[in-house]
Amino acid sequence: MLNLEDLKYTKEHVWVKIDNNRVTLGITDTAQTRLGDVVFIELPKIGEQFGVNDSLARIESVKAVSDVICPVSGMVIEVNTRLESSPELINGVPYGEGWIAVLEVSDEAELENLLSVQDYGKFLIEGDE
């Protein structure tokens, strides 16, 4: 499991692990709790390009279908194919084996727009709905 202090976050409940010009991302525990039991995920394709706020993936749960909003511009270089047969990993280990994709970032300046764990926590307390 990742150290939550080392991650960045978005107001769309995506966590981001930054490693130079690459980011690994998934949805937060808050997001997976709200979704309920995840039953399917539509993953992006390797080589696919995304911009900020594009729909990177779609998660289907027993309650709803939800888009995973891309936090930065970049190209997908890896996807978590384990989610195709075990989408419940998103519920069980959202900050570990439930990661969704790795992107090579096009514009590293966009990383500055992400929230710290403290700022994300304040956002949740102040009410995000």
Instruction: Tell me what pLDDT residue 127 has.
Output: 77
What value does the mean pLDDT take over residues 67-72? 97
Q: How do strand 74-79 and strand 49-50 relate by DSSP bridges?
A: antiparallel
Average pLDDT, the chain: 95
| Angle, CA 23 vertex, CA 35 and CA 96 arms, to 5° | 50
The structural domains of the chain, with segments of one domain joined by +, span 4-108
Q: How do strand 22-27 and strand 101-105 relate by DSSP bridges?
A: antiparallel
Q: State which fold the 4-108 domain adopts.
A: OB fold (Dihydrolipoamide Acetyltransferase, E2P) (2.40.50)
Instruction: Tell me what pLDDT residue 129 has.
Output: 55
Instruction: Tell me what pLDDT residue 4 has.
Output: 84
Instruction: Tell me what pLDDT residue 26 has.
Output: 98
pLDDT tens readout for residues 103-121 = 999 999 999 999 999 999 9
What value does the mean pLDDT take over residues 90-101? 96
pLDDT tens readout for residues 22-55 = 999 999 999 999 999 999 999 999 999 999 999 9
What value does the mean pLDDT take over residues 69-82? 98
